[in-house]
Structure 1
Amino acid sequence: MERQFNVPPVVFPSGGNPATGPHQRRPSAPFQPGPSIPFMSFDVGSVPASTSFSAPIYGGNIGFEEELPLLEELGINTRQIWRKTSSILNPFRVNPNLHEDADLSGPFLFLMAFGLFQLLSGKLHFGIILGWVTVSALFLYVVFNMLAGKNGNLDLYRCLSLIGYCMLPMVIFSAVSLFLPQGGVVIFAMGAVFVLWSTRVCSRLLVELASCGDEHRGLIAYACWLIYMLFSLLVIF
């Protein structure tokens, strides 16, 4: 004897029933966000396209076109170095106003050039040159401040800058000595001329830029003469 069970009919959400006909799904309306769900609108076409790279940087104050050159950002002013060099080339018309702002970029170039010319003559003096310049700056700084007393205003940085810039005649002498016979009278005579050139320029700049140096001009010139005489011996011997 067979037993029958009552099975409830299956009702699909779309209302179709496979027992009664084909299943057809009604098209649903697109999703509409409710008022409780916040949405942001992104309109790409409303944003203006940028065609240049002049966007402000560094806090929005300076653009790419208004940036300083790399050398000036590093504290190297090539125009100022050239003006100082041009003033030293004429020992009778030295402009002390150009040397009020001390720097070490020009002196470093002159010292490297001096060592390079010495290297071309077969002498490796880079370490000696840098060491002697440091000792010479300390020597001149102590001598000047002892002569000026409490009123002296010469600092070591300015002293090192002036000695380095006044090395330009020594650089020229080192270059010229490559074409002169070593140990002759000519090289000694030219060495004396270039030493006097450097001494005159350095002593005048020290007297003009530092106070209380006019009354001790002779002693300051003697100290400068000792310094550049020492460097000329590197070239001669």
Structure 2
Amino acid sequence: MSKDFNVPPVIFPSAGNPNAIPQRRPTAPFQPSRSSNPNIPFMSFDIGSSPASTSQFNPISGGISANFDDEPPLLEELGINTKQIWHKTLSILNPFRVKPDLHEDADLSGPFLFLMGFGLFQLLAGKLHFGIILGWVTVASLFLYTVFNMLAGRNGNLDLYRCLSLIGYCMLPIVMLSAAALFVPQGGVVVFVMMGVCVMWATRVCMQLLVELASCGDEHRGLTAYACFLIYMLFSLLVVF
């Protein structure tokens, strides 16, 4: 016995049929649909049609900046002020007119350059003293910091960072001595005379800066000068011998 099933007829859409189901046209990949919100930005992958973008993301403001004009220089971000280093160097060159106001803001960029220059001139003389120079500067700063604050007592306000900065900047005469010693015979009278002049020069400048920048230093001027003399005499012996 057979059973009949009612199957609806299949109607194919045509151009003249008003009840035809509209066909959806395929869209290209990565393209926005026409029904999407036009206010939502979309990145176009068509390189030829999209204009060149010159904007860049600024992580500080969280937005997009047009250029690097508002960015500070790299040396300023690293805390290196070349103009300040230059003015401090010029103040060291005149031992009779020291300008303590230039050294109120301590830094280690200038001293590091002077120490590296000192080590380079020693290397040209056949002496590898980079480690010795950095170690002696650290020990000398601790020595002068301890001596000065013990002399000043409770009123001493000399910090270790400023002490290291002053000793490094006042190393400029010793650096000049190491450069001039390359052209002078070793063990002669000339090199010893130059050593004495440069040591007294560095001692006077360092003592004057310490007295002017730290409180209670004027009454201990002699002992402060003696401590500075020992430090720079020690460095000058590296040049002579």
| Shorter-normalised TM range | 0.7 to 0.9
1:78-130 Cα distance to aligned partner (Å, 9 max, x none): 11111111111111122111111111111111111101100100111111111
Q: Does 1:82 align with 2:104?
A: no
CA gap of 1:60–1:94, structure 2 versus 1, over 3 A, is: farther
C-alpha root-mean-square deviation of aligned residues, in Å? 2.9
1:100 alignment partner in structure 2: 104
Identity of aligned residues (%): 66
> Does the CA contact (< 8 Å) of 2:211 and 2:221 recur in 1?
yes
8 Å contact from structure 1 (residues 173, 194) kept in 2: yes
Residue in 2 aligned with 1:137?
A: 141
SS at match of 2:127: coil
Aligned to 1:36: none
**Alpha-carbon separation, structure 2, partners of 1:221 and 1:45:** 71
Q: Is the 8 A contact 1:140 1:159 kept in 2?
A: yes
Q: For the residues of structure 2 that align with 1:74 and 1:217, how far apart are their CA atoms? A: 36
CA distance, structure 2, for counterparts of residue 185 and residue 147 of structure 1: 37
1:12 aligns with 2:1: no
Aligned match of 1:156 in 154, 160, 164? Answer: 160
Paired residue total: 220
Q: Give the corresponding residue for 1:127.
A: 131
Q: Which amino acid aligns with 1:69?
A: P
In structure 2, the gaps of 5 or more residues are 25-34, 44-50
Using structure 1 for the length normalisation, give the TM-score.
0.83
Unaligned stretches of 5+ in structure 1?
17-22, 32-38
Letter aligned with residue 61 of structure 2:
G
**Among candidates 158, 172, 175, match of residue 176 of structure 2:** 172
Report the secondary structure of 1:114's partner residue.
Answer: helix
Taking structure 1 as reference, are residues 46 and 224 closer, same or farther at Cα in structure 2, changes over 3 Å only? Answer: closer
Higher-Rg structure is 1
Pairwise mapping of residues 1-237 of structure 1 onto structure 2 (< 5 A)? 11-14=8-11, 24=14, 26=17, 27-29=20-22, 40-42=36-38, 52-53=54-55, 56-60=58-62, 63=65, 64-237=68-241
Identify which range, 194-203 or 66-75, moves more after superposition: 66-75
